[in-house]
């Protein structure tokens, strides 16, 4: 199979460091005492808890349901008791906690009843809903809910399906090991994807630094009853990025701002395919994954880890050493520094990379940019990083967007090659978040303005209604009073006054007279009634009270004695 490959622009060649961890077989990490399972492990809405504190849960039981379409469920990774549903540290650089379900494991690891799915007999929508409820998310690092990606959508079918076995970041080897040991199951997952997407062209891209994985996947591919091409791609960072892999295999570029499905291509990680096969053929929801533990540890290797396992247990398993300066989740180019080691392994955790000063020397201080454009030469998105850097630094976010800031995939190639050692990706992240915050603020102020304008409108409307009501009432009262007047006039006046229509002036006079009478009555009510003809006893009381009041008034007029300061 000599498929014509294309080259994507830019890219770098950092040292691979794959051999440290890809020589040992996969080991299953032992059951931890406590599992801390975050509800937000995927892109989209976090899952909503469906269990309470104190509930006993079984392995594979749904503990939080998907919330909406772009969401997926969360399951218990082992049997035990739910001890808390609260904020716990999660694997995010900020160190901010997020809502998690904590399970104390009972050691029995008891599975809930689960059956395979007959995916060919199920309606596609029903199958996708089921997959959503089985917690399937992309295992390549982004953790996008897979059920959404398995919907070919308006362009049914999706002609090209690409399976990503690239794993271009240094140090990470979990996909490599998965392909070597579970190639058949991965291909089973591919078959299910093909069924849902209706793809006719199926490609599996694997970097050429993984010869064993290529061989294993090739052997598994030949067993399939549909055409699937296993292609070796050059080992070139970031060749494992979805956009770059698409360009390498097909020569096509995903249009800016659009999805790959808009050009008829969908990409899935090999781990996702494997998880899909487990879900469909064994009824197992996503509760574990392979994690590479490598770097400054005694025995770098891959573990089969339950979601929710605290990271420190894995580092201890791999043999922790002195001189650790930090831990990354992911690789050295795009990894996220962990705030502490109690954070749990989540669906997006592909690697735990332990740092030391020898392996990861402290980054030198940045010098000014000399516009050498090595960054532009290295950028796979063909951007001008030195211009974006200038705009981000100056706060000129408009120009940064004009120069396509949001097409940056944050791969780190630019920072890697910069002779001045400027942390370029950090500036772009800052610019992007400033722009998002600004847009959020703009939306909020637009909403506030709408509400304010509606409020003004509502007040106006109420005022108008009130005025109308009053006018109507006045009209009615006037009419009534006029009627009374006419009746009185009819009774008291000479027949000569008969036939005189009540005039407005008469009606008004009647209204005023009635109002005056009412006012006088009210005054009489509250006025003191017995100030005349007082008895001598009461008069004496009054005189006493008056005398007391006069005394107090005299006292108040005297100046206060001031205290002298010693």
Partner 1 sequence: MPAPFILDRTSVTQVMAWVLVALLPAIATYVWLFGPGILVTLSLATVTALTAEAAMLKARGYPAKPFLMDLSAVVTAWLLALSLPSLAPWWLIVTGTLFAIVVAKHLYGGLGQNIFNPAMVGYAVLIVSFPVQMTHWAAPLELTSTHLTLAQSATVIFGGDVSKSTLDAVTMATPLDALRTGLLRQLTVDEVLTEPIFGHYGGTGFEWLAAAFLLGGLLLWALRIISWHVPLTFLAGVWLTAGFLHFYDAGRFGAPWFHLFAPSVMLGAFFIATDPVTGATTPRGKLIFGLGAGFLTMAIRTWGGFPDGVAFAILLMNLCAPLIDQYTQPRVYGEAK
Give the binding site for partner 1 (CB under 8 A): 8-9, 12, 14, 170, 243, 247, 253-258, 326, 328, 330, 332-337, 355, 360, 363-365, 367-374, 376, 380-384, 386-387, 403-404, 407, 412, 415-421, 423, 425-426, 429
Q: What angle do CA 289, 240, 149 make, to 5 degrees?
A: 65
Residue with smaller CB distance to partner 1, 261 or 486:
261
Residue with smaller CB distance to partner 1, 361 or 395:
361
Smallest CA-to-CA distance from 66 within 82, 80, 47 is with: 47
The span from the CA of 132 to the CA of 137, in Å, is: 8
Residue 265 CB, shortest distance to partner 1, in Å, is: 13
Residue 431 CB, shortest distance to partner 1, in Å, is: 13
Contacts of 103 (CB under 8 A, 6+ apart): 34, 35, 37, 57, 63, 76, 77, 78, 80, 81, 82, 83, 308
Residue with smaller CB distance to partner 1, 46 or 380:
380
Residue 244 CB, shortest distance to partner 1, in Å, is: 9
User: Around 566, how many Cα atoms within 13 Å sit in the side-chain half-sphere?
Assistant: 0
Contacts of 148 (CB under 8 A, 6+ apart): 44, 69, 70, 132
Residue with smaller CB distance to partner 1, 117 or 388:
388
Residue 91 CB, shortest distance to partner 1, in Å, is: 14
Give long-range contacts, CB 8 A cutoff, 24+ apart: 525-529. Answer: none
Residue 329 CB, shortest distance to partner 1, in Å, is: 11
Residue 39 CB, shortest distance to partner 1, in Å, is: 26
Smallest CA-to-CA distance from 206 within 185, 171, 178 is with: 178
Residue 339 CB, shortest distance to partner 1, in Å, is: 12
Q: Which residue has the tokens 């994807």?
A: 193
Residue 263 CB, shortest distance to partner 1, in Å, is: 10
The span from the CA of 466 to the CA of 520, in Å, is: 28
Residue 349 CB, shortest distance to partner 1, in Å, is: 15
Residue with smaller CB distance to partner 1, 365 or 529:
365
With beta carbons less than 8 A apart as the criterion, state whether 300 and 131 touch.
Answer: no
Residue with smaller CB distance to partner 1, 228 or 381:
381
Residue with smaller CB distance to partner 1, 73 or 333:
333
Smallest CA-to-CA distance from 435 within 381, 399, 472, 481 is with: 399
Residue 537: what are its φ and ψ, rounded to 5°? -60, -50
Contacts of 462 (CB under 8 A, 6+ apart): none
Residue with smaller CB distance to partner 1, 266 or 309:
266
When computed from its CA atoms, the radius of gyration of the chain, rounded to whole angstroms, is: 39
Residue 371 CB, shortest distance to partner 1, in Å, is: 5
Residue with smaller CB distance to partner 1, 80 or 141:
141
Give long-range contacts, CB 8 A cutoff, 24+ apart: 106-109. Answer: 106/79, 106/80, 106/81, 107/31, 108/79, 109/31, 109/59, 109/78, 109/79
Residue 362 is classified by DSSP as P
Residue with smaller CB distance to partner 1, 184 or 407:
407
- 157 prior amide bond cis, ω within 30: yes
């Amino acid at each position: 199979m000599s498929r014509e490959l294309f080259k994507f622009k830019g890219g770098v060649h950092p040292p691979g460091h794959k051999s440290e961890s890809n020589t040992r077989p996969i080991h299953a990490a032992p059951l931890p005492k406590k599992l801390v399972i975050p509800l937000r492990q995927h892109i989209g809405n976090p899952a909503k808890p469906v269990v309470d504190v104190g509930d006993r849960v079984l392995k594979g039981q749904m503990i939080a349901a998907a919330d909406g379409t772009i969401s997926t469920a969360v399951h218990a990774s082992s049997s035990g008791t739910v001890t808390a549903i609260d904020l716990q540290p999660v694997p995010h650089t900020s160190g901010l906690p997020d809502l998690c379900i904590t399970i104390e494991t009972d050691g029995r690891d008891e599975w809930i009843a689960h059956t395979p799915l007959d995916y060919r007999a199920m309606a596609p929508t029903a199958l996708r809903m089921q997959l959503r409820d089985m917690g399937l998310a992309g295992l390549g690092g982004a953790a996008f809910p897979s059920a959404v990606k398995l919907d070919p959508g308006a362009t049914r079918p999706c002609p090209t399906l690409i399976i990503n076995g690239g794993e271009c970041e240094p140090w990470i080897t979990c996909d490599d090991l998965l392909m070597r040991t579970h190639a058949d199951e991965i291909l089973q997952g591919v078959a299910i994807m093909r069924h849902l997407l209706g793809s006719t062209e199926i490609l599996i891209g694997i970097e050429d630094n993984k010869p064993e994985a290529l061989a294993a996947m090739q052997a598994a591919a030949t067993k399939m009853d549909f055409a699937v091409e296993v292609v070796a791609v050059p080992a070139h960072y970031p060749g494992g990025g979805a956009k770059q892999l698409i360009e390498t295999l097909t020569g096509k570029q995903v249009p800016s701002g659009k999805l790959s499905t808009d050009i008829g291509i969908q990409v899935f990680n090999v781990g996702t395919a494997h998880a899909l096969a487990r879900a469909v053929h064994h009824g197992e929801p996503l509760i574990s994954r392979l994690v590479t533990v490598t770097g400054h540890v005694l025995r770098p290797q891959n573990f089969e880890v339950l979601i929710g396992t605290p990271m420190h247990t894995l580092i201890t398993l791999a043999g922790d050493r002195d001189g650790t300066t930090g831990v990354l989740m992911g690789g050295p180019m795009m990894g996220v520094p962990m705030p502490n080691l109690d954070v749990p392994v989540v669906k997006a955790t592909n690697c735990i990379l332990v740092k030391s000063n020898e392996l990861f020397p402290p980054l030198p201080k940045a010098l000014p940019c000399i516009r050498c454009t090595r960054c532009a030469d290295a950028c796979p998105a063909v951007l001008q990083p030195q211009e974006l850097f200038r705009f981000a630094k100056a706060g000129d976010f408009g120009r940064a967007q004009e120069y396509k800031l949001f097409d940056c995939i944050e791969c780190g190639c630019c920072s890697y090659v910069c002779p001045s050692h400027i942390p370029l990706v950090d500036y772009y992240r800052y610019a992007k978040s400033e722009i998002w915050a600004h847009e959020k603020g703009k939306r909020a102020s637009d909403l506030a303005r709408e509400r304010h304008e509606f409020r003004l409108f509502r007040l106006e409307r109420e005022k108008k209604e009130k005025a109308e009501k009053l006018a109507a009432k006045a009209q009615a009262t006037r009419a009534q009073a006029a009627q009374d007047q006419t009746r009185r006039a009819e009774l008291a006046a000479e027949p000569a006054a008969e036939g005189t229509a009540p005039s407005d002036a008469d009606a008004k006079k009647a209204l005023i007279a009635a109002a005056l009478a009412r006012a006088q009555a009210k005054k009489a009510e509250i006025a003191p009634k017995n100030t005349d003809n007082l008895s001598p006893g009461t008069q004496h009381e009054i005189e006493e009270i008056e005398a007391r009041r006069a005394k107090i008034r005299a006292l108040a007029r005297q100046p206060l004695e001031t205290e002298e300061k010693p």
